[in-house]
Chain A
Amino acid sequence: MKTINTNYTKMIGYSLFTLGLIALPWVIDIYQLHIMIIAYIFVILSLSLNLMVGYVGQLPLCQAAFFGIGAYTSALLSVKLAISFWPCIAASFLVSAFVGFLIGFVTLRLAGHFFVLITVSFAEIVHILAKNLEEITGGPTGIKGIPAPTLPVPFLGQLTLDTEQGYYYLVLIFTALTVYLIWRLMRSLVGKNFVAIRENSDLAEAVGINTFRYKLIAFIISMGFSGLAGSLYAHYATLICPTILSFNYTMTPLVMVAIGGQGTILGPIIGALIFTALPEYFRLLAQYRLVILGMVLMVTIVVLPRGIKSILDKVYEKIRKKWSGR
């Protein structure tokens, strides 16, 4: 009886939450909507990073590169070849995943630190290339005029998602899809193997898990989603330049994951929402934003290594105990 009851309340909770997310564009203004769109893009980024950092226990420092590869793929295809949004975003995912495969194939066989160092060097190289290959990437000025996505709607023809409201729903769907897929992945055997590798790589190998293969799978998926986030960003911002390849875009998701809670689904989402929204409301501190970001990362790792999620869990446990005690 009791389990049915809790399931029932849970379902109501989830439905209300979903309705809230859908109703959001009517409640908040355009500026806040813009922040939400960026926050969702960072949710995808930090969830995909968390797959490596939180579940497999490897540290890839090339999110910016893959975010950029996704964005540039989408931008180049849509601007130079006039391909529509949907093939573009698929291509972004696939190209990023393929590059991820190449990098992972060389480095994931080796000890963890090689992976960290090669990925960070790779990100820097991509940054340099994007700045210098002017014929392809447009050099420091980047690519302008990336078209907004269009959606074929029956009876209405093509619907162009060039408003914040329209784009909000598009990003919401992609974010929900990412959350769902990663949640499913982590409940599958593949996901359990990831955690086994994180907990004890040698033991995992001994019980027959091909650690290299699973690390590679995680990395490919992780970088594919980063590319997807890049594509979403490119079509929203309509212009991109090499700044999106700078280390800041690797750093921000890292902080979000570390603060939110490594190795959980909810943690990175909370981290991403907090760390996109908060800086906007502390405009006075804009100059010190990155200083604070660094400070926060340092302090969290030392003081609260399991992130905000661990505090939430404790609070939840306490409330639950009180309720069941009555």
Chain B
Amino acid sequence: MLAQQIVNGLTIGSFYALMAIGLTIIFGLMDVINFAHGEFYMLSGFLTLLFASVFKINWFLSVLMAVAVVFFFGQMCEKLILKPLRDASLLNKALSMIGLSFFLKNLIIASVGARSHDVVFPQEGVRLRFGSVLVTYEQVWFMGMAFLVFVLLYVLLYWTRRGKAMRATFQNKEAAALMGVDIHKMYSWTFGLGCLLAAVAGSLLGTLYMVYPAMGDIVIIKSFIVAIMGGMGSIPGAICGGFTLGVVESLAAGYISSEYKDVVGFLIVIVLLLVRPKGMFGK
């Protein structure tokens, strides 16, 4: 029972981590709280549904396409909305993102409807058993893919030129600009990358559970909590925070009550803020 809960918690935790990294890099670089994060997540779920279940394209290819579309869409949103607001206050940037979130979610509800849809996964229902722990084939795949994304992100940030430029902008915008980094490009890249991470989580979790317009609502609250737990702006913090929250929630659901598992994360974060306001990995 305990091992099973922990495995389930780690699965969901890897997705919280993916979402929270996206939030945290966007916040760290641009001072933008991306309230539309949950909607990029949702859009990707719907795109996967569209490609895989309606157009009958191979599932893996559908995920790749959905993620790519959301990446470019995210960049477009950044150029249209956030670029004119570069010097605006945190408050106004957040407000514009709230507007975007509301717009996207309700546009989907108005055009597609609020129903839930199931995305068909090729090997649905296959189960593996490790001792007393039962894992679905999907779970293994998706966790593997989440880890692959972590690795790719690491490679991108630390081994490529673009990653270097990104980290430089992260540390000091003016200095990076003086060294010849096109920081506007970095902004839209980072925003796109953040949305891409949300999109990966959306495609995978959408397949694991259901796809519906409000699917981002609770997930974005979770990723806020994770991002605060990890210290806003810290990628390792977001990863650790994601796994911690996933496991704690899963244990709370197993041993206390599944209705109140969502409250546990909030309580943790309040206590954490009282004890260590900068988060686990905050500077």
Contacts and interface: CB of A to CB of B under 8 A. Distances in A.
B94 interface: yes
B228 A118 contact: yes
B256 interface: no
B120 interface: no
A101 to B, nearest CB: 14
B90 interface: yes
B41 to A, nearest CB: 16
A295 B107 CA distance: 10
Nearest to B77: A298
Nearest to B278: A110
A125 B100 contact: no
Contact of B95 (A121, A124, A297): A297
A297 B270 CA distance: 30
A61 B101 CA distance: 14
B277 A109 contact: yes
A99 B224 CA distance: 21
Interface residues of A, number: 42
A121 B266 contact: yes
Given A247-B217, A290-B102, A116 B33 contact: yes
Residue of B81, B91, B94, B107 ringed by the most chain A CB atoms within 10 A: B91
Contact of A116 (B94, B96, B274): B94
A251 B95 CA distance: 9
A124 B103 contact: no
Contacts of B274: 106
A109 B275 CA distance: 13
A59 B91 contact: yes
Given A59-B95, A117-B227, A297 B266 contact: no
B84 interface: yes
- 5 cross-chain pairs, A with B, having the tightest CB-CB distances, nearest first: A294-B102, A294-B103, A297-B99, A298-B99, A290-B106
Interface string A244-267: 000100010011001000000000
Contacts of B110: 287-288, 291
A107 interface: yes
Interface string A267-303: 0000000000000000000011011011111110110
B225 interface: yes
20 contacts: A106-B273, A110-B277, A113-B27, A114-B277, A117-B228, A118-B228, A118-B269, A120-B221, A121-B221, A121-B266, A122-B266, A124-B218, A125-B263, A125-B266, A132-B259, A288-B110, A297-B95, A301-B85, A301-B92, A302-B84
A305 interface: yes
Interface in A114-154: 114, 116-118, 120-122, 124-125, 128-129, 132
Contacts of A132: 259-260
A294 B100 contact: yes
Contacts of A59: 90-91, 94-95
A38 interface: no
